[in-house]
Structure 1
Amino acid sequence: MTILNNPTKNIKDEKIIINTFSIFILLLMVNCSKDDFSFGSLQAPTNLQVAVELIGKTTANPNGDGSGKVKFTATADDAISYKFIFPDGTSTNAPNGVFEKLFTKVGLNSYNVTVVASGTGGVSTNTTVEVKVQSNFEDAEAVKLLTGGTSKKWYVSASEPGHLGVGQNDGDATKNYFANYYQAVAFEKAGAAATSCFYENVLTFSLDGGVMKFKLDNGGSTFFNSNYLSVGGGAGKDDACLVYNTGGLKTVALSPSESVVTRNADRLTQTRGTAMNFSDGGFMGYYVGQSSYEILSITDNRMTVRFVQGNNTGLAWYMIFTTTKPTQAVTDFTTLKFSDEFNTDGAPDPAKWSYDLGAGGWGNSEAQNYTNSADNVIVANGNLKITAKKVGSGYTSTRLKSEGKYKFTYGKVEVRAKLPAGGGTWPAIWMLGSDYATNTWPGCGEIDIMEHKGNEPNVIHGTLHYPGRSGGNGNGSVKTITNASTEFHVYKTIWTAASVKIFVDDVLYHTVANDGSLPFNKDFFMILNVAMGGTFGGAIDPAFTQSSMEIDYVRVYQ
C-alpha cells in the first residue's frame, strides 16, 4: 500500500479568499437586515491523503495480479464526502472515501486519478494521484460480438420464453444457474400498460477510440422492479414503467466474472466468464439496482446475461437479447360482418340500432337525459350526429346501441369519428358484455374503444373494465392526438382470445392480455353516446349550448 500526500497549499492565499468572502457575507447581512440569514461554517478539508492498494500486489507482481483492480482509500481532516474522477470520463461519489476501480485497458498502464474532498459549505480540496496497474484480462471476441466492430443494436428477445427470468443466487450448486423461480412467456410484458415499455428498449454497444460505450434508448420510460419504484418517482407493489432519463453514453469495462456460476468449476461451461461493468449507473433495460452483468453466452445475434438484484443478493435475474427486434403477430380480421356507413338521411337504421332512454345519472352522476329525438340524433350528409344540448337547466343527448340487433365475440372494430367540444362533454365509443342483465357490471366486462373529456381536449382514453378494475381503477392508457374535435380520426380495437388492443389512427397505445379469467371471451354489443358531466366528464362549462359527435362509419370485421 502506498500513501500519497496532498501537495502543499498556499495557506496565505486561502486566508485571503476566505476573509474576502467573509466581508462579502457581512455586507450582504447589513444590506438585507429585514431578512433572517443563516450560514453554516465554511471549512475546507486539510491533510488530504489517498491510499492506493493494487489488488494482488506482490514482490513478483508489483503492479497487481493482472485483474486491473485498484482500491482507493481517501482521508482528510474536516471532510464530509469524497469524489473520485477517472481519466475514462467516469466519476464516483464515495461518502466514506473508499472505492474500488476496475481498469480494463490491457497491459501495464498509468492513470491519473483526481480525488476531491468536500467540506462544509461546499468548500473542497483536491489532489491527483498516478496509478500504474497491470490488466491481463481481455475478451476481444466479446467486444467484437457486442459492437460488431463499430456499433450494434440489441433488443429484448421478447418472442423467446424466458427472455426475463429470476432464480436463486446462493450456495445451492444445483439450482442457482437458471431462472428456477420465474420465466416470462413470449411477449408477456406487452400485456399491460404498466409493463409494455419493456420491449421498447434499444441497447447500443459501440467502440470509441478503442473504448466500449453503451447507450440505452428507453423511449422515455423504464421498466422498474417493484423494489426500486421510488428511484423513478413511483410507488406500489407491482413492477411498472415510469418516466426515467437513462442518461447519455456509459463506458463498459469487461472483467472476469465472479458469480457463483464461475466459482463452481463443474459449471464453468454455463458461462463465458466475462462480466460487463457499466459506468454511472448504466443498466440493460430492467432496473434492479445493478450495473454489472455476467455474459452467460453470446453469438453474433443472441446474448444471455445474468445479474444479481442490488438490494437482494439472493436473487439472480436473467435476460435474453437479440439483434433483430421481435415483432408480435397481430391477429387481423378482414371479413366485414357488420357496418353502418350512415349514407341514408334521417333516423339511424332501426335494423342496426336501438336506444337507451331516460336520465338518472347512469351510474356515473351524469347530467343528461337520453332521447331518440332528431334534435339529439340524426343521419345527415353521410354522417351520424349525436348532439348533446342544453335545454333549460338540463341537458339532452342520445345513447345508441346494437343490443338486440348485433353482438359478436372477437373481431376488429373501426369507428371513424369527430368528437364534440366543450367542458363537460363525454363522448364514448364502447362495448358491453351482452350478459350484463344477469352478470352485473363489471362482471360482464366493458371495452372502451374511445372516451374523451371536453375538459382535457385531444387526450384519448382506451380502457377495459372487469372485476378488480372497475370505475377509476380501469385497465387503461391515454394517447394525445391533434384536432380531435375538428378532424376525423379512426378509433380501433382488435379483440382476440389472447389480447385486446386499442388503437387511434392505427397507432397501438394500449394492450391487455386476455385469458379465461377475464370476461372478454363472449358476446359484446356496441354503444355510441355523448354524456354530460359525471364522474368522468367533470364540470360542465356554464357557457355550453350544444356540440356533436359525428361518426362517418362503424365497421366490425371477423
Structure 2
Amino acid sequence: MKYLKLILSFLAVALLVTSCQEDDLGLETMMVPSNIQVNTDISDDGSGIVIFNVSADNAITYQFNFGDGTTGTSLDGTYTKRFNRNGLNTYQVIVVAYGKGGISSSKTIEVSVESDFSDPTTKQLLTGGDTKMWYVAAFQPGHLGVGPSSGDGFNSPIYYQAAPFEKDGAEASDCFYTDVLTFSTTGEENFTYNQNNNGATFFNADFVGQFGGPTGSGDQCIAFDTGAPKNVTLAPATSGIESSTGTVLEFSEDGFMSYYIGASSYEVLDVDDNSLYVRAIMGNNPDLAWYLKFTTTPYEQQQAGGGGGGEADFESQYTDLFFSDEFEGDALDTSVWNYETGNGTNGWGNGEVQYYTNEEKNVKVENGNLIITAIKEETNGFGYSSGRINTMDKFEFTFGRVEIKAKLAGGGGTWPALWALGANFDVVGWPTTGEIDIMEFVGNEPNRVQSALHFPGNSGGNAIFEGVSIENATSEFHVFEVEWTPETITFLVDGEVNFSFDNDEDKPFNKDFFLIMNVAMGGALGGAIDPAFTQSSMEIDYVRVYN
C-alpha cells in the first residue's frame, strides 16, 4: 500500500508538470502586449498632419481611434493621420496593440493639432446643403477605370475603362450599379456618408478571397453589408494632379465608394451639381489608381435614356449647303479625304487593337455609299484591320451644321465613330485642340449612341457627353448631326436633340476643325471583342455641311 501511494504521488507530480508545461505554451502564444510607447510628430504648418510611431513588446499589429470619428490600422506602428477640424483642436487618441491570439492592451494620449483646410464648395455640391443621393454613372464610358497612380488624373485610366453599362446583365449590376450613396450634413462639423448596397458589394478580384468569395475568377459580387453611416472628413490632396479639385474625401471605419479596392480615401477630381469623379489608390498596390464616376441620375433612369434629352422641332441657324460628299463615284475622293494608317500610339491613345489600312477591303465607295469595314485578320502584328479617313488640310471649317447619314458597324467590340478634331492638332496636341464627337456607337451596347466633347479638364473618361436610345442602328440608316455656333454646340439624332453645350471664347471650339470617320475595335470604349466576330461595316450615305 505504501508503494502504491508513492507511485500515485509520482503520477500526480508528473501530471502537474505536464499541465504547467501546457499552460506555459498557451501563455507563450498569447502574451499580452506591454510597454506601449507612442511618439508623435505634429505638423505646425496648418496641414493637420500627425505622424504616429508606436512600439510595444509582443505586439503584431496596431489600431488607432483618433477621436474624430475615424480609425486606422498599422502593422509596423507607423501611421500618418490628417486631422481636418479647422482651428487648434485637442484629440484623445486611443492606440490598441494586438498580440497573438487577439490579446490586446491600449494606451490613450492627447494630441493638439491645428488645421486650416476647408472646402465648403465641395461639401455643398456633395450634400446639396442637406442630403443628396449619388449613383454609379453606368451610362458613362470610364465609370470604372484603372491606371498608374502616377498619372495626371482625367486621362490616366489607360489600363482599363468600362464601357457604358458594361456590367449590366452581369452579376455585378445587382451590387454595383444599384448602389445608393448618400452624403449628408447638419451644421459645420457633422458630415456623413452612407452606402446602401442592398447587402452585397462588388469586390476587386484581389480582395475576393479575403471576404469569402471564390478566388481566381475575377471581380465578384459578395454578400457584405457596408454598415452604418460613416463620418467624412475633407483633406487637401497631395497627388499634385493639376486637374484635381485638390480635395480628398476620407471615410471613417474603412468606408469605401461602391467598388471595393481596400481604400478609404478618395481624391475628388471633379464635382458639380450632378456629377462626381474620384480616384483612389488601391489598398494592396500603391502603383495603381482606380477611377469612379457618379451621377445624381438613378440607375433605372440611366437605362431609360442615359440622361439624354428628347427635344424635338429643332430649328437650325445654318441652312446653306457649302460642302457635301454623296459618295456617288466608285472610289474615295482623295482631293477631300486622307487615309490614316497604322495603330497610332497605344491604339490611337485608347488601347484599340485594329490596324488601319488604305486597302479597298477596309475603305471603299460602292453603290452610292462609303463603306468602312473592320475585319478579324492578322495585319502588321494586330488581330484586326479597319479603316479611318479624315479631311485634315483639305476641308476645314469653323461653325456650321454637320449632317451625316449612316448605318453603323455592329458586333461586340466594334466602335464606329463620326467626329471632328481641331485643325491645330499637330501643333498643340490633344485635348488642347478640342474634339467634337458627333456620334459614337459601341457594339456591346447596340441600343444606344452617344455624342461628346473633349477639351482640357474634360477629356478622356471625363468628357462632356450624353447618350440616347436608338433602334436598328446597324440595320437601318440614321441621321447624326451637330449644330456648332459661337454660343452653343448641339447634338441631334434623327432630328431630335440629344444634348446642348454652352460654347464661349475660352473653349477650343472657335477655330477650324476637320472631319474623321472610322471603325475601331476594342479599346477604352469598344470594350471586349466577341470571339465570334469576323467582320462588320459602317456605311455612310452622305456627309453634308451647312453654313
Calculate the TM-score normalised by the size of structure 1: 0.47
Calculate the TM-score normalised by the size of structure 2: 0.48
Determine which structure has greater relative contact order: mean sequence separation of CA pairs < 8 Å that are 6+ residues apart, divided by chain length: 2
